Amino acid sequence: MTAIRQLAQLISHNHPKHHGDALTIAGDALIDTIACIFAGAASPVAINSMQAVKDWGGGNSVVIGRSEKLAPPFAAMINGAAGHALDYDDFDEPGNAHPSVVIFPALLAMAASRRLRGSDLLDAYIIGLEVLQRLGEAMNMDHYRRGWLSTLTLGTIAATAACARLGRFGYESSAAALSLAASMASGLTNQSGYLAKQLHPGLAAKNGVMASALAAAGINASDQTIDGSISLATAMGDYQPERFNAAMAKLGKSWSILEHGLLVKCYPCCGYTHRAIEAAIDIHGRLKTGSKAIQAIQVSVPDYYLDLLVYSTPGTPEEAMFSLEYNVAVALASGSFCLASLNDEAIADSEHTRLTQAVTVVARVPRDANIVYDPLDPDIVEVTLEDGSKLRAEAALLTGSPARPMSGEAFRAKFDECLEPHAGRVARDQLWDMLRHIEQLDDLNPLLASLSKAESG
């Protein structure tokens, strides 16, 4: 049975209700994604994308943080792009992707046209994540290293699966939607530092809405497009049938959201810099006279990280998110890396510039290139001080990962940081409470209304 047929069975099957940790992880992912969308609502990629589609007709789907409403594909696109504008949204390891900022914008765009419960939203999300992570098990990291951006390639399939689940598609319609999605899936990794990179999740979310709508309207398609002789698997990687079979055999049996979980980001920048940032923060806490004493900095990371981290001296926020040197420099100087670290003043700061220029990056061969954050292969930061002494820190487990979760206080602080420009404390508290109890909502429309009104809250 082809992968599409197995995935279609997953989507159309009447599974037992999710419970416990699965719902907690999915609910937290929704909160984090909505916070990130608010944070990016006024970003250039969101504003420019709205400008591009504003004359193509209206609709009833919410554009988060704005009063305008659009047709579902365009609302999904703008919300997905806004949520990724600051690279603050969650990440997963087997998919090597940003799953939630793809899946939730697609689902929220569809929700406007039907009466849905909060539990329906979480169920569809869990199905979409299952599809993305199992395909990641089957295809990564070879797929990614060839230059395919999993957020847009595998994310398109995942968003479509989630939309089909939310739409209660039957077996044949689900299969057609997935096949159409496979024909839409593309996206390259070399867009780092450009607005195109931020747009990628939005394109995947739009594709998911479009593919599911086309299938619902009766557009049929081959079931060979994910793992057939001419398919995503063969065109976009080293197709290994045994890996596909092993991944597909787990569908819906051991849910991937429990097996793999998600990585909730503590810092608004490329995840490949996060362990180095944490090592730098560790060193900052041990500096007796501040960063002025630092003369040289050496940072060791896996070599393939540097395919994305290409800006040694960033000049824009988009470049700064993908600058290992700058991110480590800011963390050493301030002991943190936050949204304010991406503004023009921070990028032009003389001490940040001095430390950025003092960084030497050592690219090491990873112990296992199929593990993104290998706990047995830590990232290392070492600084040399003006008296010749050295301070060294390693970071193996990443804060925000399933092995080292973000604290509840830090998670709420991130939510407030992202929403503060859009909503006062009362409005933030109300939205937080609604999202915290999303599973109990019998109607999502009050939530959707709050997402568009919060800009004046």
CB proximity list for 329: less than 8 A, separation 6 or greater: 297, 352, 354, 355, 356, 358, 359
- Direct distance between the N- and C-terminal alpha carbons of the chain, in angstroms, rounded to an integer: 51
pLDDT surpassing 60 at residue 98: yes
Give residue 413's pLDDT: 98
Rounded to whole angstroms, how far apart are CA atoms 412 and 426?
Answer: 14
pTM for this structure?
Answer: 0.96
CB 69 within 8 A of CB 61: yes
372-431 per-position pLDDT tens digit: 999 999 999 999 999 999 999 999 999 999 999 999 999 999 999 999 999 999 999 999
pLDDT surpassing 70 at residue 349: yes
**How would residue 185 be classed by pLDDT, with cut points 50, 70 and 90?**
very high
75-94 per-position pLDDT tens digit: 999 999 999 999 999 999 99
Considering all CA atoms of the chain, what is the largest pairwise distance in Å, rounded to the nearest integer? 73
Beta-carbon count within 10 A of 267 CB: 26
Please give the structure tokens belonging to residue 246. 């092993």
Please give the structure tokens belonging to residue 326. 């700058």
18: left (phi over 0), alpha (psi -120 to 50) or beta: beta
Rounded to whole angstroms, how far apart are CA atoms 283 and 294?
Answer: 11
**How would residue 453 be classed by pLDDT, with cut points 50, 70 and 90?**
low
293-319 per-position pLDDT tens digit: 999 999 999 999 999 999 999 999 999
Please give the structure tokens belonging to residue 293. 């004493």
Domains by residue range for the chain, with CATH: 3-259 (1.10.4100.10), 271-395 (3.30.1330.120)
Q: What is the mean pLDDT of residues 334-342?
A: 97
Rounded to whole angstroms, how far apart are CA atoms 120 and 360?
Answer: 49
H/E stretch holding 26: helix 21-39
Chain Cα centroid distance, residue 62: 20
Percent of the chain at pLDDT > 90 equals 95
141-158 per-position pLDDT tens digit: 999 999 999 999 999 999
Angle between helices 72-84 and 21-39 (to 10 degrees): 90
Please give the structure tokens belonging to residue 123. 């169920």
Tokens 């929700």, residue located: 111
Count how many Cα atoms sit within 13 Å of the Cα of residue 338 in the half-sphere of its side chain: 12
Residue type (1 letter), 88: Y
373: left (phi over 0), alpha (psi -120 to 50) or beta: beta
CB 227 within 8 A of CB 244: yes
CB 175 within 8 A of CB 4: yes
H/E stretch holding 47: helix 44-53
What's the chain's average pLDDT? 96
248-258 per-position pLDDT tens digit: 999 999 899 99
Structural Rg of the chain based on CA atoms: 21
Rounded to whole angstroms, how far apart are CA atoms 281 and 295?
Answer: 17
Give residue 332's pLDDT: 98
**How would residue 279 be classed by pLDDT, with cut points 50, 70 and 90?**
very high
Give residue 452's pLDDT: 84
Rounded to whole angstroms, how far apart are CA atoms 290 and 312?
Answer: 23
- Residue in 262, 319, 221 with CA at minimum distance from that of residue 104: 262
Give residue 454's pLDDT: 57
Rounded to whole angstroms, how far apart are CA atoms 432 and 31?
Answer: 8
pLDDT surpassing 60 at residue 455: no
pLDDT surpassing 70 at residue 274: yes
Give residue 115's pLDDT: 86
